Structure 1
Amino acid sequence: MNTPSDTSTEGTPPSASPGGTPPPDDAGGTPAPARIRSGWWPLLTRLHFYAGVLVAPFLLVAAVTGLAYTAVPQLDQLVYGEQLRVERVGETPRPLAEQLAAVREAHPEGTVASVVPPEAPDHTTKVVLSVPELAEQDKQRTVYVDPYTAEVRGALTTWWGSTPLATWLDDLHRNLHLGETGRLYSELAASWLWVLVLGGLLLWFGRRRTYAGAAKRNTVLPARGTRGVRRSRSLHAVTGVWLSVGLLVLSATGLTWSAYAGARFTELRTSLSAYPPELDTAASGPAAAGHDHSAPEQSGAGTAPGDVPAGLTVDQILDRARAAGLDGPVEIGVPAEDGSAWTVAQTDGLWPVHLDRAALDPHSGEVTSRVDWAEWPVLAKLSTLGVRAHMGTLFGLANQIVLAVIALGLTAGIVLGYRMWWQRRPTRGAGRALVGRPPARGAWRQLPWPGLVVAVPLAAAVGWAFPLLGWSLLGFLALDGVLAVIRRQRAARVSGPAA
């Protein structure tokens, strides 16, 4: 549904012969009476064809790199098993404060940013350190500890919790390791993906309406008994039909963090106040202004610079959070300065998600602020769920499998699209060519004026919302115009002056 059209004859829609009569059904069925196509059909055909030819390479790269990213959890376990898992599961984990002290002894650099208790009995504890030289790169140092022995198992440079391998694959998928410039490739692919999918659906279902009998069953199943371009077209279209919902979701979620369309989405969310409520991390009560220095202090790892603040231990903070209902996997945020509260945030991204957050006073353990998932605006929830589904973390292994199937299906659809283009090439006489001819230009002249009045402003609005889509469409039109001039000049030279 998102690759080159199968049209080979100038000016002939894929569902009609030059005389306007539908071609024989792919499965040998009887064609329904011919229907007269408006100018919208050839225009959509031409748009789908050129967008497929020019954008499909970017989609192919996105599909292949996305397929590699779906295997990140398994690859992490393979490459970083020593850091992520314990060799032997014990009976009782050591206190988090003791594990934190072992980390600070082995890694005194930077400051403690957060502590992530093990999510499973065979997982290690993660202690995230904020190190100045890494902070400049928006990265952290994560130290991994055996929860049963308090032995430091190793340290990795992480990016918001992602391992170096996961970060490398993420950058490959997002920008091909070309920085901000490279992000344009993924945004271009995501911007056109939904156009190609919707356009392909309209073309395919419009084509099937012209057939009667058994042929209609081939709308969602590959046609049997066909060969050549008809077989390729059927496989290409049916693949797109089955993958259409997933492809549209990937297009929408991919655009939310793109450079230009993502900025438009951010403006929309800001105007609608569609962000999660902020958690107030200021400590409350007398402890915020200062505590009784005559009272004995408890601390997770002393009071030296870079350690956790005086007051309750990290274990006591976790106990208070559990009592407040924050169960499951959590991340404990260490106060960055005096007067700030501890934060405990649920991190269970599997459906149904648990993403409640709470701030706790460092001395009393009282919950001073809380934001529950139920309080999030609908658009903020949809955005978060969509991003997690895009990254394969919403439904666990099932999510990974679905993404892999979509990536493989998209790759197959692209290959079939180019195969159709090659199969529809002229093979006889002087008109032989390497690929099929494109649909005829000038289809917009056949559009009714009321349609143009609506379509032009709508196209401008879409181009504003998706800037790379708009600019690349203008680029297609400019290229098409240049090719038209070249062909007219070539035809004039061949025909010569009139006698």
Structure 2
Amino acid sequence: MHRLHSVAGVFVAPLLVISALSGFVYAFAPTPENVVYHDAITASSSEAPQPLEEQVEAARSVHPDLQLSAVQNFEDPTQTTRVLFNDPALENSSYRQAVFVAPGSLEITGELVQYGSSRALPLRTWISEGHRQLWLGEYGRIYSEMAASWLGILALAGAWVWWVRWRVGKGSATGSRKGSTAHAKRKKTRSIHSILGVWLLPGFLFLTVTGLTWSSMAGGNIPNLRAQLDWVQPTPETSISATTMTATTSAHDEHAHHHHSGHDESSTLAGQDDLTQTYISQIDTVATTARGAGMSGIIEIALPAEEGTAWTVTEMRESWKLANDAISVNGETGEIVDRVHHSDWPLAAKLSAWLIQLHMGTLFGWINQLVLGGIALGLLTIIALGYRMWWLRGRNGRPGRLQAAGQWRRTRPAVLAGIIAFLLVYSVMAPMFGISLVAFLIIDALIQALRR
């Protein structure tokens, strides 16, 4: 474990430095985002809010050619309403065009691309992409997965080394044998390195677990495991019985049928526009039902996924909000079709949502951001101290030798078997770690063979 920690640490540390630096900036991204986009996200008047239908119509004048996706409505009247549109020109469905509408004056205060459920705007999205993939696309995600998967292992290995050294050195006076200045400096450096590592161990493990959920390979394994164990976030049922459908939908069906025989593209577009207009006319009914049902804060009112199904209204994630309910609403009648209380979520699903928000620095506001920033600075300090120890081990301006190979033979068989089993299981969950570990072992074995 000592050799794994020291040798792998030397070569993996540059990735961790990049991750820590980008993570430090990412942790504080929500704050500058509010400053940069203040004019867009802040309502320009204090007038009473107009109906959502009118706000949506104002936004549609900006993107008449795009499909309406959802409306994000704020309880705070000083915040603009975000009307979201699907745009096939964007990278994927996580990106949507957002038009910002002042609720009272119906003024369009801005138009930006919004990303994900965290409502990230371009600046925060750009910082997030840098942290996640170094702006290199899928190839860049290899770096972040390597960094995240090795961070936890190096931290655990370091804690193991510290614990073994503490046990061996407990009560002994061997630490006073070597009195050289270099040795004293190295001992002091090692002490600070170890203390910081032990204190920050929970934070490093937290970043490893949550960071891997965004990775390319491990990120695919984790959702599969959650699905198999029924740890996923439940969603409300949206199907509506045919007997509840009213003449509004029937009229639309008749309109569509009337033009079907010609297969005319313009008639198809007209039918889609009629359906959109029907949905827009229902949005205030849906919003009133949601607020009347106790949904608070920022809510996303999502259009039915397909004709004849219910609207979905979800309480959005925001600082200091630990529970997010969701309901489905029949847009024609205003009746609630289904409701999913946050208390009904599996515990693992709750923990997953909270941990991801913590990693993003959004769960507990600026306190959350300060803690993440502190962990990032702590990691950078630990890495710098680790390299300093390596340098102080050497002579004549050269770094010293790393920990000698073969010390695993001193480990008790039962403990060694447990470590190997853990690494095998972890390698399955985090393939990039397993691949790089095998490569490291092969290269290390070749180097040892050449030396002999």
The aligned amino acid for 1:99 is Q
Distance 1:265 1:303 in 2: 38
Identity of aligned residues (%): 38
The residue number in structure 2 matching 1:48 is: 5
Q: Give CA deviations for 1:444-466 in whole Å, capped at 9, x if unaligned.
A: 33344455555444432232222
1:81 aligns with 2:38: yes
Query: 3-state SS of the aligned residue for 2:150?
Result: helix
1:162 aligns with 2:120: yes
Distance 1:195 1:379 in 2: 23
Q: 115-124 vs 407-416, which deviates more?
A: 115-124
Q: 348, 373, 396: which is aligned to 1:379?
A: 348
Q: CA deviation at 1:137?
A: 6.5
Query: 3-state SS of the aligned residue for 1:62?
Result: helix
Query: Counting helix residues as a fraction of each chain, which structure ranks higher?
Result: 2
Distance 1:66 1:449 in 2: 39
Matches within 5 A, 1:68-467: 68-88=25-45, 90-134=46-90, 136=92, 138-160=94-116, 161-211=119-169, 228-284=185-241, 286-288=243-245, 290-291=247-248, 304-305=273-274, 307-310=276-279, 313-427=282-396, 434-467=398-431
Q: CA deviation at 1:158?
A: 2.1
1:394–1:211 CA distance, 2 compared to 1 (3 A) = same
Distance 2:311 2:112 in 1: 24
The aligned amino acid for 2:343 is A
The aligned amino acid for 1:156 is L
With a CA cutoff of 8 Å and minimum separation of 6, indicate the structure with the bigger relative contact order: 1
Q: Give CA deviations for 1:366-394 in whole Å, capped at 9, x if unaligned.
A: 00011111111111111111111100111
Aligned-pair RMSD on alpha carbons?
2.5
In 1, are the aligned partners of 2:86 and 2:93 still within 8 Å (CA)?
no
1:450–1:175 CA distance, 2 compared to 1 (3 A) = same
Query: What is the TM-score of this pair, normalised by structure 1?
Result: 0.79
1:56–1:380 CA distance, 2 compared to 1 (3 A) = same
The aligned amino acid for 2:112 is L
> Of the two, which has the highest radius of gyration?
1
Query: 3-state SS of the aligned residue for 2:245?
Result: helix
The aligned amino acid for 2:41 is L
1:227–1:109 CA distance, 2 compared to 1 (3 A) = farther
The aligned amino acid for 2:386 is G
The aligned amino acid for 1:424 is R
Q: CA deviation at 1:467?
A: 1.4
Distance 2:246 2:44 in 1: 45
1:478 aligns with 2:442: yes
Q: CA deviation at 1:242?
A: 2.1
Q: Give CA deviations for 1:96-136 in whole Å, capped at 9, x if unaligned.
A: 22111111123212121111113533211100011232265
Query: What is the TM-score of this pair, normalised by structure 2?
Result: 0.86
Q: Give CA deviations for 1:123-166 in whole Å, capped at 9, x if unaligned.
A: 11100011232265742110001122100112112222321111
Structure 1: segments with no counterpart, 5+ residues = 1-43, 216-225, 295-301, 428-432, 489-499
In 1, are the aligned partners of 2:330 and 2:337 still within 8 Å (CA)?
yes
The aligned amino acid for 1:307 is T
In 2, are the aligned partners of 1:332 and 1:345 still within 8 Å (CA)?
yes
The aligned amino acid for 1:184 is I
Q: Give CA deviations for 1:236-287 in whole Å, capped at 9, x if unaligned.
A: 1222122111111111111123222222222311221211223222234634
Count, aligned residues:
422
The aligned amino acid for 2:190 is R
The residue number in structure 2 matching 1:38 is: none
Distance 1:193 1:451 in 2: 22
Structure 2: segments with no counterpart, 5+ residues = 174-182, 252-270
In 2, are the aligned partners of 1:279 and 1:357 still within 8 Å (CA)?
yes
Q: 24, 29, 51: which is aligned to 1:67?
A: 24
